[in-house]
Structure 1
């Protein structure tokens, strides 16, 4: 009887212990706008974390990019958002921190493995509080069909004159659209157009910070000239570009019908999979030979902690892992063209990604001019820049008029002296 009783006690204890272990298992949910990354998170990133962190399960729950901000804000207000919040750079995420919906990560193990520049997109204006772990940046430039270049005897342009001679040569040949870019969705006209070539003219961070400080205006030459250059692009975008969506442009290029794609490095993964030709890339051409090269090396994505998460400890464990060298290497290779921002040197496998990253050695880096501080009011400068860039490309608004409209809108609410 004593033996049976002891056995029963042990079995009961085992059941209790097993139940307790199950009860302690934690499931974390990540909110994100990266719907195209589902397979990568589910097949590579999450399994790598769960392998070394038993007891923590991670679920990736994305929302369509155009719906993410509104959906996330509604979930946060209702208290139903996930534990981990994928952070857009600068003002959108700062607003979440100011509303106490995401928390300070100053004491997070691993946060010191990021430079102040890397953390800038997710740090308060006074530089004292970082509220998201930086995950990756993207670099702007031009991706081209190297087979077409070889066929036509073309080489990568260094200057603006060389760039337009190149476009003219492709147009004259007549078999290919020189550049794949449409204006229906507007954002790409600004992001891959104006923000791609603009830093060359407003001198990168010097110009951007001068605009923020009120020492420069959008009507100054350094800000108007990129619109004049952008207007010239319209001669090389092919018939129907005004009715062309972003996916249309991607298809036009990957099917081999266009020679050049004004791009961000985020295209590398998709293009590497879909294009049946060799890919090349070149940075934004300089205005004149000998000028300093500038690239938009833009912090794109971070990860923060929901202030109301019931799984904060497990969530912080995941965030510390995101700050690790393992994550930097895994993420940079799983998503070629998204470059880790930590001090860890991730070894890249993709040759085109290596090419983009090499420009950091030769060019000065800056961020998109509309993302920090100057788009906090109404009208929103970021969204207005989309519209202005598309209008200039469509020929319905002269560069000078577009620049004046943007500055007038900024003047309505932005008082940098205060």
Structure 2
């Protein structure tokens, strides 16, 4: 027979154990997978402290991988069941493939997802638009960053048309003090992203042209897709004697050291350039083909974050994702990383002057995304990689624009049929 005192003691111990268990369960560490290893200090010093202060019991571990290794490393971790709780998402097809493989959890019922427009969610949504699987974090905008001191020294103004752009390049080249354009042909993505995809939307009419490619109404061999390759081919005359052996970091260094006057850029360069350059910086949007033409910018959904479907802490992961969807995160991220622009509907005050210049173009230009990212890079050869290769060849002068356009179109047609992904 159990004594009353022993029963009371046992009951008290059980009650203590039951109340202690939830408290222990609240102490959770969430690991974030990312390719943005240059963001580490921003996460450690700004973003993580803000979240952890508002969410006691949840600790964040930001664990980035080198950008060039991220896709392969992440896929290996997901296959092995060792990936982090939160997955930083590349835009469009790469992340859609992870979702369709069951690695990313659906987020259609996440409260914070309502803070984003359909356009903002488009990079991390199913083709029918019904199931978002990553929270949009930021977009980047393409254009040109220039040495404002050099422009003042040479009496130059920001060009607005293609003709004015080449007149500025000619003036810089004739003076001889600066390399007109800081761009190299070694890192192929530089030629495509900073070159072809930067200036191209003004020729193929942004979203209209991109969607026409997907529907089969347009081809890369059409004039509006070939002409920007011809313009890119002319850039080689202004890129300096060593541009054929010049890497992307070389281009960055040429510009920040004051040796080149104009850098075909993405807005992600802002923080680095402001840190390293000892001259005044300016920026202008991609010049239009002719006076009176509509301005277009590549305002590209760049980075999102989703939940590993196999996480053991889904409630805590969803709490973090709702915070990423908040106005607080949008403001912290945009100001900690000037040049990465929030995609939520909440207004954000950006303190950086150059970043404000880039984002102001949304008011005067039509926005579009890089044409190779959605749908058209799901097969082999990969359209994005093909664009890299042939844009680089054009810049290097080893392939004519017409040859490059034909090769890109041939590669796409070898596997893609319009409507093949429709349900």
Q: How does 1:127-276 map to 2 (within 5 A)?
A: 127-276=129-278
Secondary structure (helix, strand or coil) at the match of 1:58 reads strand
Q: 2:115 aligns with which of 89, 113, 126?
A: 113
Do structure 1's residue 351 and structure 2's residue 366 form an aligned pair?
Answer: no
1:103, CA displacement in angstroms?
1.1
Q: For residues 43-102 of structure 1, give each alpha carbon's deviation from its aligned partner in whole angstroms, at most 9, with x where no partner exists.
A: 000000001100000000000000000000000010000000000000000000100110
1:214, CA displacement in angstroms?
0.4
What is the distance in 1 between the residues matched to 2:123 and 2:375? Answer: 11
Do structure 1's residue 381 and structure 2's residue 383 form an aligned pair?
Answer: yes
Q: How does 1:396-411 map to 2 (within 5 A)?
A: 396-411=398-413
1:11, CA displacement in angstroms?
11
Residue equivalent to 2:38: 36
What is the distance in 2 between the residues matched to 1:16 and 1:239? Answer: 74
Secondary structure (helix, strand or coil) at the match of 1:349 reads coil
1:19, CA displacement in angstroms?
7.6
Change (3 A) 1:19 1:116: closer
What is the distance in 1 between the residues matched to 2:36 and 2:141? Answer: 17
Does the CA-based 8 Å contact 2:161-2:289 persist in structure 1?
Answer: yes
List runs of 5+ in structure 2 lacking aligned partners. 1-7
What is the distance in 2 between the residues matched to 1:261 and 1:93? Answer: 30
Change (3 A) 1:417 1:299: closer
1:394, CA displacement in angstroms?
0.6
Q: How does 1:301-312 map to 2 (within 5 A)?
A: 301-312=303-314
Residue equivalent to 2:68: 66
1:252, CA displacement in angstroms?
0.6
Residue equivalent to 2:3: none
Q: For residues 209-260 of structure 1, give each alpha carbon's deviation from its aligned partner in whole angstroms, at most 9, with x where no partner exists.
A: 0000000001000100000000000000001111111111101101111100
Higher alpha-carbon deviation: 19-28 or 131-140: 19-28
What is the distance in 2 between the residues matched to 1:320 and 1:20? Answer: 22
Q: For residues 269-318 of structure 1, give each alpha carbon's deviation from its aligned partner in whole angstroms, at most 9, with x where no partner exists.
A: 11111111110000000000000000000000000000000011000000
Q: CA RMSD in A?
A: 1.7
What is the distance in 2 between the residues matched to 1:403 and 1:322? Answer: 40
1:10, CA displacement in angstroms?
9.6
Residue equivalent to 2:321: 319
What is the distance in 2 between the residues matched to 1:85 and 1:417? Answer: 30
Residue equivalent to 1:3: none
Does the CA-based 8 Å contact 2:26-2:58 persist in structure 1?
Answer: no
List runs of 5+ in structure 1 lacking aligned partners. 1-5
Residue equivalent to 1:98: 100
1:155, CA displacement in angstroms?
0.4
What is the distance in 2 between the residues matched to 1:276 and 1:10? Answer: 69
What is the distance in 1 between the residues matched to 2:375 and 2:362? Answer: 25
Secondary structure (helix, strand or coil) at the match of 2:169 reads helix
Q: How does 1:72-87 map to 2 (within 5 A)?
A: 72-87=74-89
1:338, CA displacement in angstroms?
0.2
Q: TM-score, normalised by structure 1?
A: 0.96
1:22, CA displacement in angstroms?
3.9
Secondary structure (helix, strand or coil) at the match of 1:339 reads coil
Does the CA-based 8 Å contact 2:142-2:266 persist in structure 1?
Answer: yes
Q: How many residues align?
A: 412
What is the distance in 1 between the residues matched to 2:182 and 2:36? Answer: 23
What is the distance in 2 between the residues matched to 1:320 and 1:15? Answer: 31
